[in-house]
Amino acid sequence: MRFRQDKQVPQSSITERSVHARILSMQKEAQCLDTVQLRQMEQSFRSWVSESLREDVRLSRKRIFLIFLLIRYTGAKLNEVLTLNPFKDIDFKRQLVFLGKASPKDSRPQREVQIPVTLSEEIKAALDAPSFKRYLNNLFHVDPGHVRRKFYERALDCEFAPALGAPDVIRKSRAVELLQSNMPLPVVQKILGHSTLSVTASYVDFSDEDIRQVAKYFIEKESQRKTSARNSFFGKIISIKKGDIQAIVKMTTIGGDVVSTVITNESLVRLGIKTGSLITAEVKAPWVILQKSDKEPESTAENRFLGTIVRINKGEITTEYVVCISDGTELCSIVTTENAQKISFQKNDQVWVIFNSFSVVLHID
């Protein structure tokens, strides 16, 4: 859960949003694979494809592998991938997969799902092979039962329970993976084809192109892993108030929160920041303070979010608290273990996440 400093949020709305976030987050513990396990599955498929000496068998396996990759990186349903025409429904220039329209008579609108550049290149290389084109006269029209059996076999090869290799589990695992990378919940819902939350007030401020840019940013950041920052927000600049030396910059996230920062006027010009710009805000974990309170605490810190502690990692010197706020974004706070013993926070405790505007660093990507 969370409140915004600038807007009043009805309690019913907060509850609804919190429930949606927890539904996706809890799947990891219930029946999902983590990122390492998903990579194990992917490597198992690669080895399975390459070990066959017969071309027809290798191509047949390659097709199953591509189905896995598409589910694994788009979060698509199995039937959506099986009705996909990879020669028409993938835009390799923009790295987009178009899903959700089973036939010309299907009235549902297609949705666009961003995929990593490396995956787009791999799929294109496979489809461009003459032997693959000859073999794929019927495209991805494969018996769903056959696909599931092959997925179960790869799970067993990784020493997982067969059920963890099911296509729907891979899809749920992708949702959790995206949330844990701090992709906003409304964007994850859009990728999976869920209806977005009606209570996400700021969502209407983001165009379809903005949403695509957000998805692309997180997908590429996920594949590159170039930053060590744990706490990041992605959103749009809504106001800039310039002073003689510094400026107050406010951004709204797709989840509906307002994050405030103070930067120099020189940085404002150098970064080319203006109202409407898409931007990333990052906060280092040691600058994040946690506080228990039944109501929004009185504090000079401009940024205050209500959330739930989902993980506690205790070390000899420091202790790390991971707090999930209403759209599934996870924020990390680090304190000394000595202080952690004094405050005695527990998992599932509700706490306020607090940090001031001077702790926020803005990035233009």
pLDDT at residue 1 above 80?
no
Q: Is 22 exposed, middle or buried (0-12, 13-18, 19+ CB in 10 A)?
A: middle
198 C-beta neighbours (distance < 10 Å), count? 9
Instruction: Read off the tokens for 116.
Output: 């990593």
CA count, 13 A, side-chain hemisphere, 183: 29
> In the structure, what pLDDT confidence band is assigned to residue 263 with cuts at 50, 70 and 90?
very high
What does 86-103 look like in DSSP terms, one character per residue?
TTTSEETTTTEEEES--S
Q: Give the list of residues 6+ apart from residue 32 with CB closer than 8 angstroms, or none.
A: 164, 169, 172, 173, 176
Instruction: Read off the tokens for 74.
Output: 């788009």
pLDDT at residue 201 above 90?
no
Which pTM value belongs to this model?
A: 0.61
pLDDT in tens, 44-89: 999 999 898 888 888 889 999 999 999 999 999 999 999 888 888 9
pLDDT mean over 212-230? 62
Instruction: Report how far residue 188's alpha carbon sits from residue 111's, in angstroms, rounded to the nearest whole number.
Output: 12
Helix (H, G, I), strand (E, B) or coil at 157: helix
Instruction: Report how far residue 116's alpha carbon sits from residue 74's, in angstroms, rounded to the nearest whole number.
Output: 10
Calculate the average pLDDT of the chain. Answer: 80
pLDDT in tens, 139-153: 778 899 999 999 999
Instruction: Report how far residue 323's alpha carbon sits from residue 73's, in angstroms, rounded to the nearest whole number.
Output: 26
pLDDT at residue 29 above 50?
no
CA-closest candidate to residue 115, choices 34, 222, 219, 194: 219
Which H or E element spans position 262?
strand 258-264
Percent of the chain with pLDDT over 70: 81
Task: Sketch out the chain's domains with CATH numbers.
Answer: 34-159 (1.10.443.10)
Cβ 113 vs Cβ 133: under 8 Å: no
One-letter amino acid of 147: V
pLDDT in tens, 272-303: 888 888 888 889 888 999 998 888 888 889 99
